[in-house]
Amino acid sequence: MTPQTSSADPRYPIGRFHYSGPLSDEGRAEAIQRIAEAPARLRAAVAGLNDAQLDTPYREGGWTVRQVVHHVPDSHMNSYVRVRLALTEEEPLIKPYDEARWAELRDSSHEPVEVSLVLLEALHSRWVTLLRSLDEEGWARTFRHPETGPVSLDRAAALYAWHGRHHTAHITELRERKGW
Amino acid sequence: MTPQTSSADPRYPIGRFHYSGPLSDEGRAEAIQRIAEAPARLRAAVAGLNDAQLDTPYREGGWTVRQVVHHVPDSHMNSYVRVRLALTEEEPLIKPYDEARWAELRDSSHEPVEVSLVLLEALHSRWVTLLRSLDEEGWARTFRHPETGPVSLDRAAALYAWHGRHHTAHITELRERKGW
Amino acid sequence: MTPQTSSADPRYPIGRFHYSGPLSDEGRAEAIQRIAEAPARLRAAVAGLNDAQLDTPYREGGWTVRQVVHHVPDSHMNSYVRVRLALTEEEPLIKPYDEARWAELRDSSHEPVEVSLVLLEALHSRWVTLLRSLDEEGWARTFRHPETGPVSLDRAAALYAWHGRHHTAHITELRERKGW
Amino acid sequence: MTPQTSSADPRYPIGRFHYSGPLSDEGRAEAIQRIAEAPARLRAAVAGLNDAQLDTPYREGGWTVRQVVHHVPDSHMNSYVRVRLALTEEEPLIKPYDEARWAELRDSSHEPVEVSLVLLEALHSRWVTLLRSLDEEGWARTFRHPETGPVSLDRAAALYAWHGRHHTAHITELRERKGW
């Protein structure tokens, strides 16, 4: 579903997101499994880090590990809301958000990471239940992004299956480079 | 801040929401304290209920206790997103959602309530950190609701301090009536 | 089951523990309900407190609020272990612990309270499931304390239903006295 | 610290526990890191499993996946209690427990696994804080097991660093064999 080759660009440790058309049943099952695993993978990625390590940028000029962790539920909450909007309205126009500014807000930059790990676990638990309840018609439903246009739930699931692994790899690659 | 008188209308056990102008420092501290307490109050309200009790409507024709519990983080996630939008954009136009239809989705109607209690605890922890970081200028920032117009963070905080208690009272009043 | 009268002695805000013989079915249901509610009551009791408040002794010369919170799962873990021992061995001799010294260990004196609130929620969830599975014979099973002799599961359930409320009242009374 | 070679015996997927004398500083850091990671590894190991899969024995005649998950905090709670006893008494005699019978109790055999994943996360968080606070003298402290004699905290930490990985591998090997 998504390329596994590691990349020279530290911003894209698992490569950029690719998507080509509606998911097969296997593709949907794989996306759900990855969304189900994401909170545990992120929790494992930060296990045992101290505050100084959490406040280290994952790359020069990039977010700190702490900001990466808080960004994941910020982003996935927005995505979960969009999925629910798509299921309850006809191609609703959704509201984007400025992820760079969000990451500067107090609770994204200073809060202990545990709170966002727990938030992600609970959010993904509901999300997985919801995705598993979809039939063919459900997966085809769409929301509309003001810039990129209509997005099907197939595409949204594939994107967020990638997104959790993308940010987790930011942290695991940093730990490998640092020998943490 | 909000009237405490009980009401004959079972939909409004603590009365309707009232708001008159910007909050004082005490009003803000009280709103934050209520938002901080809300997850524990909701958890206490459902402690010990079995599945049959959780699937009982809180009033004739109303949501089940389970749906009430899942609605609270649905609503508060949307509110938290709006607060963050107001702090990072100039009076952004936010996207409302259809709460009645959301409550019919699989994860709102069937999931164990524990997941939403945990979600609420984590979400409110970040929300309280964020609200405590606001200065006078921050509290005055606004988002715009397409129907009701501009909403300041003062008003949003007062509203959600009321909202958590409002739904918790739906459950505690049901338990009192039923002798549970 | 336990006296509700407030006491002049700040160490016993809800009075000392009393027990007179095996519990009735109602007494067992009430004990289980109190054990089910205890984590939410404790969570509500500390909601919104800052670190300085958490590090305030609940009475002169007493534990800090933080130590009280960490003591509750310390104590209840030991109790849960004893209940399981009683159900799987013939009147096993249990190992007491030195609660004063335990409260001085690093994780009881300095850790954020959230971790112990979560620990208590998970522990009580399993404990309630276990207690609800007991038949008459199960409730009569005993462990043996080296100093006080045999303890039935009826007595243990009544004691811990009291114990959670006892320590929660230490905190709520302090907040009332301090106006927090 | 512990051998990584896979074993033909499905009961010992990462091999049996080996220990040879006090840990070095690196050995202690590694044991703490493994204890810190264990809850996330176990959570990842069961992510996405349905109830039928959770109720599958990990090997013929063995515990179900669900029983394995609940066993881990059962065992680690006992270990954590022993560590605390060793730090607050002089070589205390600890109370063993019958793990096979514990795994038959209602909450170990039927409860959703989420509760034990959360319990383990909270317990290990406190455990890691405690282990990090130990000096050389602390690591050398001992409890006494009625059958196997004195156990130092060095040995206990090494054993439980192995134990979490041991049971997680029961589950991951089952998933690999089953193609789940």
* Beta carbons of C40 and B24 less than 8 angstroms apart: no
Q: Using alpha carbons, select from A10, A11, A38, A58 the residue that is nearest to residue A180.
A: A58
B39 touches chain C (CB under 8 A): yes
Across the interface, whether the CB atoms of B118 and A122 are under 8 A apart is answered: yes
Confidence of residue B77 (pLDDT cuts 50, 70, 90): very high
Per-residue model confidence (pLDDT) at position A149 = 96
Structure tokens belonging to residue B31: 């709103």
Tokens 């709670």, residue? Answer: D77
Give the torsion sign (CA, B34, B39, B42, B47).
negative
Contact status of B112 with chain D (Cβ, < 8 Å):
yes
- Which pLDDT score is estimated for D66? 98
Provide the chain C residues 119-178 that lie in CB contact (below 8 A) with chain D. Answer: 119, 121-123, 125-127, 129-130, 132-133
**Euclidean distance between CA atoms A175 and A177, whole angstroms:** 5
Q: Are A116 and B122 in contact (CB under 8 A)?
A: yes
Contacts of A88 in chain B (CB under 8 A): 97-98, 101-102, 105
Condensed to tens digits (0 to 9), the pLDDT of residues C32-79 reads 999 999 999 999 999 999 999 999 999 999 999 999 999 999 999 999
Is any Cβ of chain D less than 8 angstroms from the Cβ of A43? yes
Can you name the residues that pair with B143 across neighbouring β-strands? Answer: B151
Q: Does the distance separating the beta carbons of C78 and D84 come in below 8 Å?
A: no
What pLDDT score was predicted for residue D27? 96
Q: Does B40 touch chain C (CB under 8 A)?
A: yes
ipTM of the complex: 0.93
Partners of B54 on chain C (C-beta within 8 Å) are none
Q: Cβ–Cβ of B95/A87 closer than 8 Å? A: no
At B169, the pLDDT band (50, 70, 90 cuts) reads: very high
| Interface check A112 vs B, CB under 8 A | no
CB contact under 8 A, C40 and B36: no
Using CB atoms within 10 Å of the CB of residue C77, give its burial: 0 to 12 exposed, 13 to 18 middle, 19+ buried: buried
Assign B119 a pLDDT band (cuts: 50, 70, 90).
Answer: very high
**Alpha-carbon distance D32 to nearest alpha carbon in chain B (angstroms):** 26
Q: Which stretch of DSSP H or E encloses residue B59?
A: none
* d(C-alpha D73, C-alpha B136), whole Å: 47
Min Cα–Cα distance to chain D from A146, Å: 33
Distance in Å, alpha carbon of C145 to nearest chain D alpha carbon:
12
Residues in C 56-75 with any Cβ partner in D closer than 8 A = 70, 74
**CA of C89 vs chain D CAs: smallest distance (Å):** 8
Q: What's residue A4's pLDDT?
A: 47
- Show the tokens assigned to B59: 């009033």
CA distance C71 to chain B (A): 19
Tell me whether residues C88 and D110 touch, CB distance under 8 A.
no
DSSP tag of C103: T
For residue B81, list chain A residues with Cβ-Cβ distance below 8 A.
Answer: 77-78, 81, 97
Pairing between β-strand D142-145 and β-strand D149-152 as defined by DSSP bridges: antiparallel
Chains that touch A (3 or more CB pairs under 8 A): B, C, D
Helix, strand, coil content of chain D in percent (nearest 5): 60, 5, 35
Residues of chain A with pLDDT below 50 are: 1-5
Mean pLDDT by 10 residues, chain D (180 residues): 58 94 94 97 97 96 97 98 98 97 94 97 97 97 96 98 97 96
Give the pLDDT band of residue C2 (cuts 50, 70, 90).
very low
- Shortest distance between the Cα of B180 and any Cα of chain C, in A, equals 10
- The pLDDT of C107-120, averaged and rounded, is 95
C37 touches chain B (CB under 8 A): yes
Reply yes or no on whether the pLDDT at B40 is more than 70. yes
> b/e map of D82-92 (b: 16 or more CB within 10 Å)?
bbbbbbbbeeb
Distances (CA, A) of A164 to A35, A71, D22, D91: 7, 10, 40, 47
**Contact (Cβ atoms closer than 8 angstroms) between residue C103 and residue C159:** no
Tell which wins on pLDDT, B150 or B4.
Answer: B150
pTM: 0.92
CB contact under 8 A, A47 and D37: yes
How many Å lie between the alpha carbon of D179 and the closest alpha carbon of chain C?
Answer: 31
Structure tokens at C126: 């399993």
Q: Tens digits of per-residue pLDDT, B90-107?
A: 999 999 999 999 999 999
CA C140, C144, C150, C153 dihedral sign is negative
Q: What is the pLDDT of residue A7?
A: 54
How many residue pairs from chains B and C have C-beta atoms closer than 8 A? 39
Instruction: Reply yes or no on whether the pLDDT at B4 is more than 90.
Output: no
Q: What is the pLDDT of residue A21?
A: 83
Neighbours of chain C (3+ CB pairs under 8 A): A, B, D
